[in-house]
Amino acid sequence: MKWNLTRPLKVLGPGLVTGAADDDPSGIATYSQAGAQFGFQLGWTLLLTYPLMVAIQAISARIGRTTGKGIAGVLREHYPKWLLYVIVALLFTANTLNIGADLGAMAQSSRLLLPQLPGWVYVVIFAFICTLGQILLQHKRYVSLLKWLTLSLFAYFATVCVVHVPWLEFAKGMLWPRLSLNREFWLTVVAILGTTISPYLFFWQAAQEVEDTKAEPCDRPLREDPAEGPNALARIKLDTLVGMGFSNLVALAILVTAAATLHQAGVTDIDSAARAAQALQPLAGNFAAIVFSIGIIGTGLLSIPVLAGSAAYALGEARRWPVGLARKPLHAKAFYGAITVATLLGAVANVFALNPVKALVWAAVLNGIVAVPVMVLLMLLTSSAAVMGQFKISGRLRALGWAGTGVMAVASGAFILATVWGGK
């Protein structure tokens, strides 16, 4: 299938959805807390993470497009089973905790808009919507729906338009990092890094590239059809650049909104995305609070399927199950069962009053534990001609991939140490 640069909207897919899913309710809470607590001081972190995100997501996409297998499938072929199972178990656990936190934030936001129903009812409703959407909808239609859900992120650009932003202070925060020895400062920096560069995004984007090779008879893995390499890699590059750019612009809009309103008003402690929306109401008006809440719900509907789906892809490939959203449920029972279990476990955690802040902390810790070895393995796999053939990575992409791995190693280590020493 020939790719046409004049039709960019039609080629945006895995990268766009992955980038949008990165701004899930948990991420919104992180960016809101960063802006509320430190104002514009941490804007530079979103410039730092952009090239690193682009590199590692493009590398993940290349694995799927080149080999026709997801990350877990390739790991199964080249590394010991025990290592694969440990990574998959940690990924599944972290994703489930993240799903629980996201469902809780969506429920709280829904109660701000329609307080007539208790929170647990919204949790159950959203859990079923996210699960049934993946099971019942035809794959192409479902992917199209996910693309449309990315529009919900424009809500955060709208909130920036209705608040007063001191642009000079904003520019200083973006271009002139002001570092601090404060432990909370570095915990927040690490939380932003861990939120933007998460293992579930690696597995999801690789898996969606595999799905694309199966969607059309003329699309085959690049190792089987090297002639398609230039077109496929150009599409992946554009898709990833746009998707990650969109993700970081949204994150920046959320941070700026919180900095310009909550921080200026002395509100420095935000423990959830919904609390951020609630706090905005007296400061920026009902419109900003409503739009912010709608954005939380929309991003949750987008991110929960990605979280559950990436966990199911990883577990399914590790166990050699038939996997893929393009398969009928009766032909991939275990795969769809894993999606259902991950989502419902997240819902149950809310029913039993799981503390959302602790859930986010432990999800971030587990993501940090999983991210570094996965990124190291990704770099080793994609640098190997035995795995990637003529499409092994080199040059700037390889350098950025290793740089991102190093940054995440330092970040995850600092996060774990700060969490243990801080007792939180």
- Give the tens place of pLDDT for each residue, 256-268: 988 888 888 887 7
User: pTM for the complete prediction?
Assistant: 0.86
> Could you tell me the pLDDT band of residue 58, with boundaries at 50, 70 and 90?
very high
Q: Which of 232-236, 356-360, 416-420 has the highest mean pLDDT?
A: 232-236
> Could you tell me the pLDDT band of residue 280, with boundaries at 50, 70 and 90?
low
Q: What is the mean pLDDT of the chain?
A: 83
User: What is the predicted pLDDT for the residue at 3?
Assistant: 43
Domain ranges of the chain: 8-422
Mapping DSSP onto H, E and C, the string for the chain reads CCCCCCCHHHHCCHHHHHHHHHCCHHHHHHHHHHHHHHCCCCCHHHHHHHHHHHHHHHHHHHHHHHHCCCHHHHHHHHCCHHHHHHHHHHHHHHHHHHHHHHHHHHHHHHHHHCCCCCHHHHHHHHHHHHHHHHHHCCHHHHHHHHHHHHHHHHHHHHHHHCCCCCHHHHHHHHHCCCCCCCHHHHHHHHHHHHHHCCHHHHHHHHHHHHHHHHHCCCCCCCCCCHHHHHHHHHHHHHHHHHHHHHHHHHHHHHHHHHHHHHHCCCCCCCCCHHHHHHHHHHHHCHHHHHHHHHHHHHHHHHHHHHHHHHHHHHHHHHCCCCCCCCCCHHHCHHHHHHHHHHHHHHHHHHHCCCCHHHHHHHHHHHHHHHHHHHHHHHHHHHCCHHHHHHHCCCHHHHHHHHHHHHHHHHHHHHHHHHHHHHCC
Q: Which of 26-35, 255-264, 376-385 has the highest mean pLDDT?
A: 376-385
Lowest mean pLDDT among 53-62, 310-319, 363-372: 363-372
Q: Decide if pLDDT at 424 tops 60.
A: no
> Could you tell me the pLDDT band of residue 177, with boundaries at 50, 70 and 90?
confident
Fold of the domain built from segment(s) 8-422: Amino acid/polyamine transporter I (1.20.1740)
User: What is the predicted pLDDT for the residue at 29?
Assistant: 81
> Could you tell me the pLDDT band of residue 284, with boundaries at 50, 70 and 90?
low
